[in-house]
Structure 1
């Protein structure tokens, strides 16, 4: 007898993720929900992750890119593989509790207005260098995304000890792209061309952009506390390098991340902010942007180039903003009233 429950398509984008992918996939395979398929997109990794996947997980669909195309495009590639009604976007350094998918599907099926659902992400470390046993830290990584009047978006509860303070199911501004399930019908309503995540972003804040677009279309982003997963926020280096080389590599990576994040933040505002709400909160926005600019001036000056590259795409982002407005069911003022922290 055929199982009537909907299929869930798990999408994982890997980039030099050999340290994490076995533990991540083991947790996916051990899910209590029976109808899942998995696609792993490899963004030209230099480790042996593809060889390991072919040898140990022949049932998983693999896509190998010849270059690093980023988080957004990688997940878009995977999400187009199937027509499954639910799509679980998962980082390779995230480990799911066994009932995660089953509970997420039940919650989505119970409320057809929910476009995306996520739960408690708790930070973890590995028990030893063999990277096998997950040791939860009890420190929250995310319980959804919140946005302030300054338009600063952050992971709610990040860095707090989990003492049960986020035990209520509730609608939130957005959900972390590290571990979130989407309803395909909702994504199809807000996609830009054939893109669910905006591929111009490459990486960082594309989950915020998608959350914002879903809200404008009238969908809900839902936090469900019974969905528990563990996130290894800071990956370890698997090779021995000198402290100086490690520091230089870390600094270069941080500057690149800061540049992308700074650029994408401006794109977020160009695409999703509107004058009616911008001017109401302009003092808070201006003060936040000034502080951020001064901070980058001192700590990561090259990252400021992200602001200039954001301006070069201004017209492109405005065209996308026009399409968002054409399809919107919620006004910017209503969204601000419901979801922005005051």
Structure 2
């Protein structure tokens, strides 16, 4: 890591023990041209030998090893509480950054003091397919990945304001996270995993913060590498490759985030689109994952508590 700036960034990587992914991720952080990085790994693997290997190979990394899997939101809160910088880059372990990613991405915060979230161009591991250029809020109130699955033909080469950032490579201004904090939590731990990126973006927008996209910062994401079965890595239609328990979270978290953040007026305006999405979504579940319906009904208490 070369000396270049006195700005400090805390990088928080959450891992569940996929050694090859984590090695590539940490190697890309070690190669960053932006200096003064605080590197934090939150280890949810519960594997003592895995933790030892990280400490041995990357002695410059601050490691927090958990006795059980705390899931993504609680692990990120743990990392943020252990961090000291004014900017926080939250990463999945299946992400590799271009050597200039942080140096270029942090410039996005300089465009406006109310920029609280920054995304670069996130590519798939084939380096040809776009994974995300930031989030927009769809008419049916889900997170829509800009450019998702499209071949990169320089169609996203303009810097611009966006609604939010993909949770796999999420760059935040600490001031924004403090501003939208819920009690002692930055990320809502009730969500555990999925839709936490939309929740943060939506809460930020409601509080007057903005997202920003810069194509000069490039990262590579093995889509689904952290949570999907091996056959589903880098494939579309994520639900096909998730366990029933993770599919359950994907469904109930959308409702929870919408209920937390949507105003009644906006909900009524978008109700026709939401209803259409519900029709297709529940039809898909009925014919492909009928057991999920029983699980969802059994978990109504979860929805009520959110």
TM-score, normalized by the shorter chain, greater than 0.5: yes
Which residues of 2 match residues 85-100 of structure 1 at below 5 A? 85-100=86-101
- For 1:281, what is the secondary structure of its paired residue? helix
- Residue 4 of structure 1 and its aligned partner are, at CA, apart by 6.8
| 176 and 293 in structure 1: CA distance in 2 versus 1, 3 angstrom threshold | same
- Residue 305 of structure 1 and its aligned partner are, at CA, apart by 5.0
- 1: CA distance between counterparts of 2:179 and 2:197? 16
1:68 aligned onto 2:58 = no
Which residue does the alignment assign to 1:140?
Answer: 130
- For 1:104, what is the secondary structure of its paired residue? helix
Match of 1:207 among 197, 215, 233: 197
1:195 aligned onto 2:196 = no
Which residues of 2 match residues 44-83 of structure 1 at below 5 A? 44-46=45-47, 48-83=49-84
- For 1:280, what is the secondary structure of its paired residue? helix
- For 2:252, what is the secondary structure of its paired residue? helix
Match of 1:285 among 261, 274, 285: 274
Contact (CA 8 Å) 1:262, 1:306: kept in 2 or not?
no
Which residue does the alignment assign to 1:22?
Answer: 23
Unaligned regions of 5+ residues in structure 2, if any? 231-238
Match of 1:303 among 263, 283, 292: 292
Give a deviation string over 1:14-33, Cα, whole Å, max 9, x none.
00221211111011011111
- 2: CA distance between counterparts of 1:66 and 1:198? 21
- 1: CA distance between counterparts of 2:271 and 2:85? 42
- So what's the TM-score if we normalise by structure 1? 0.80
- Residue 257 of structure 1 and its aligned partner are, at CA, apart by 2.1
Coordinate RMSD, CA, aligned: 2.4
- Residue 106 of structure 1 and its aligned partner are, at CA, apart by 2.2
Which structure's CA Rg is the greater one? 1
Between the two proteins, the alignment pairs up a number of residues equal to 294
Contact (CA 8 Å) 2:92, 2:226: kept in 1 or not?
no
Unaligned regions of 5+ residues in structure 1, if any? 125-135, 241-249, 318-342
- Residue 307 of structure 1 and its aligned partner are, at CA, apart by 4.2
Contact (CA 8 Å) 2:114, 2:210: kept in 1 or not?
yes
- For 2:190, what is the secondary structure of its paired residue? helix
Contact (CA 8 Å) 1:171, 1:220: kept in 2 or not?
yes
Contact (CA 8 Å) 1:120, 1:226: kept in 2 or not?
yes
1:235 aligned onto 2:225 = yes
Give a deviation string over 1:299-333, Cα, whole Å, max 9, x none.
1123335644664245543xxxxxxxxxxxxxxxx
